[in-house]
Amino acid sequence: MMDVAESDLERLLGQPLVLLDIWAPWCGACRQLEPIIQRFSDHHPTVGVYKLNADDNPNVLRFYDVKGLPTLIAFSQGRIVDRVVGNPGSMEAIAAMFR
């Protein structure tokens, strides 16, 4: 799991599978989600897991039409395959985003 900025996205989205966690430091639900994201990252090494701070990257929020935090966006081959707003509650629910 790695923190990224808007300037990193084009390169990172070239990976086969990517989970982008859009969060903010003031967001309680984002903080609650962090250990779940970390476990997912530890158990799914083929998925690139990246955290993007919403406050520091407003253009990304507009581009991906982010309406709430946290927002998880799953990418396969650079295309969005699923999106979840809020805490999905489990590592398994995050894995299901890629099915």
pLDDT of residue 30: 97
Per the structure, the complete domain to which residue 32 belongs is given by 2-96
Structure pTM?
0.96
- Give the count of domains, the chain: 1
Is 27 part of the annotated catalytic residue set? yes
Q: Of the listed 13, 27, 61, 84, which one is catalytic?
A: 27
Is 30 part of the annotated catalytic residue set? yes
Residue 16 belongs to a domain with what CATH number? 3.40.30.10
pLDDT of residue 40: 98
pLDDT of residue 27: 97
3-state secondary structure the chain: CEEECHHHHHHHCCCCEEEEEEECCCCHHHHHHHHHHHHHHHHCCCCEEEEEECCCCHHHHHHCCCCCCCEEEEEECCEEEEEEECCCCCHHHHHHCCC
Q: Of the listed 18, 19, 22, 30, which one is catalytic?
A: 30
pLDDT of residue 6: 96
pLDDT of residue 60: 97
